[in-house]
Amino acid sequence: AQRVTQPEKLLSVFKGAPVELKCNYSYSGSPELFWYVQYSRQRLQLLLRHISRESIKGFTADLNKGETSFHLKKPFAQEEDSAMYYCALTNSGGYQKVTFGTGTKLQVIP
């Protein structure tokens, strides 16, 4: 069974400080991993995916298969980064079932 764990419900950081939102997964095959973000009063939207190896809004995430982790990082937090972040996993073939973690609320303190 596929599983996503986000150990922190709430993460508070000061503006300008580095951010790391933790995500660990369990999956027997080759997973596709994503981070979704939900800003206040907005719908959930894709932030980034590991296959693209992209940086979106200054955020990056590296898939570490040895540690089965996909932590989201940003070197300098901004107030507008305050939001709910969900790590998600799906299988790489066939049915597009996505398993979401429980989410981490990021609070950036001015």
Partner 1 sequence: DAGITQSPRYKITETGRQVTLMCHQTWSHSYMFWYRQDLGHGLRLIYYSAAADITDKGEVPDGYVVSRSKTENFPLTLESATRSQTSVYFCASSSPGTSIYEQYFGPGTRLTVT
Contact residues toward partner 1 (CB under 8 A) are 6, 9, 32, 34, 43-46, 49, 51, 86, 90, 95-103
For partner 1, which is the closer residue by CB, 49 or 74?
49
CB atoms within 10 A of CB 5: 14
Minimum CB–partner distance for residue 16 and partner 1 (Å)? 29
- Sequence-distant (6+) residues with CB within 8 A of 8 are 21, 22, 104
For partner 1, which is the closer residue by CB, 13 or 33?
33
Minimum CB–partner distance for residue 77 and partner 1 (Å)? 22
CB atoms within 10 A of CB 105: 15
Residue bearing tokens 């590991």: 50
For partner 1, which is the closer residue by CB, 7 or 75?
7
For partner 1, which is the closer residue by CB, 11 or 32?
32
Minimum CB–partner distance for residue 40 and partner 1 (Å)? 13
- Torsion angle in degrees (nearest 10) through CA of 46, 17, 102, 9: -160
Minimum CB–partner distance for residue 92 and partner 1 (Å)? 8
Residue bearing tokens 């299988």: 91
Report helix, strand or coil for 11.
strand
